[in-house]
Structure formats: structure tokens, C-alpha cells
């Protein structure tokens, strides 16, 4: 779903099913990846741990955490770590705004 939305916005995407695969994807293509959208609940680990690991390994990588479980009361968990957070479900304009904020102008040439 998110892949399709991002494709509609003109971004190239790569996806991973779990934390271990995400680390592998980042290792293989970190030069081309500018933003990681990480779900808070993952099959093998949790989004926070993965986001911390990615931030440690790739300090320039922008990271946005996605969750349908985190609400206004528990948002402090991700804010405390300084991550950007996007609650699910979200609309196309919301996703566009967050991606634009993290990566810059979506109409810039050759987006990655």
C-alpha cells in the first residue's frame, strides 16, 4: 500500500518484510536510500530498535516510524528518541508532507 502511494508520488522504493531484511537492504543500497519508513511492530524485532540501529549505522538516513497502535498518549515514546512519527492510517497528502519534510521537494529531478 505504502509502496503504491510512494510510487504515485514518484519515489523509487525498496521494501523489507522484517528487521533483518531491512538491515540487509540498507547495507546493499545505503548510498541510494534517503528515507526509511519503519513500522513499530515487526515480526522479528521492534521498529524502535531497528530505527536506532539504522540511525547508528547511517546517521544521515531520515527515519519515520509508522504505527497504528501508538496514539496521542504514547507518542512520547518515539518523540523521546527524536524520530519522526506518522500514525496509521494516513492519507496520501500526509505521507507526501512527511516525505517532503524529510527528503525535500518531491518534484526535484531524479528522486530516490
Binding site for another protein (CB under 8 A): 40-41, 43, 45-49, 67, 69-77, 79-80, 82, 84, 97, 100-101, 104
Look up cell 528518541; give the residue. 81
Give the shortest CB-83-to-another protein separation in angstroms. Answer: 10
Nearer to another protein, 10 or 76 (CB): 76
Give the shortest CB-28-to-another protein separation in angstroms. Answer: 26
Whole-angstrom distance, CA of residue 102 vs CA of residue 22: 19
Q: In what order do the strands lie in the sheet with 62-67?
A: 35-39, 62-67, 84-87
Nearer to another protein, 57 or 101 (CB): 101
Using alpha carbons, list the distances in angstroms from residue 84 to 42, 43, 101. Answer: 18, 21, 10
Give the shortest CB-45-to-another protein separation in angstroms. Answer: 8
Amino acid at each position: 500500500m505504502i509502496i503504491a502511494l510512494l510510487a504515485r508520488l514518484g519515489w523509487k522504493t525498496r521494501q523489507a518484510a522484517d528487521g533483518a531484511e531491512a538491515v540487509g537492504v540498507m547495507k546493499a543500497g545505503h548510498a541510494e536510500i534517503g528515507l526509511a519508513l519503519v513500522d513499530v511492530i515487526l515480526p522479528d524485532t521492534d521498529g524502535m530498535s531497528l530505527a536506532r540501529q539504522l540511525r547508528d549505522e547511517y546517521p544521515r538516513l531520515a527515519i519515520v516510524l509508522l504505527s497504528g497502535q501508538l496514539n496521542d498518549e504514547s507518542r512520547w515514546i518515539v518523540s523521546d528518541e527524536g524520530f519522526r512519527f506518522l500514525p496509521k492510517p494516513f492519507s496520501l497528502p500526509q505521507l507526501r508532507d512527511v516525505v517532503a519534510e524529510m527528503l525535500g521537494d518531491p518534484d526535484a529531478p531524479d528522486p530516490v
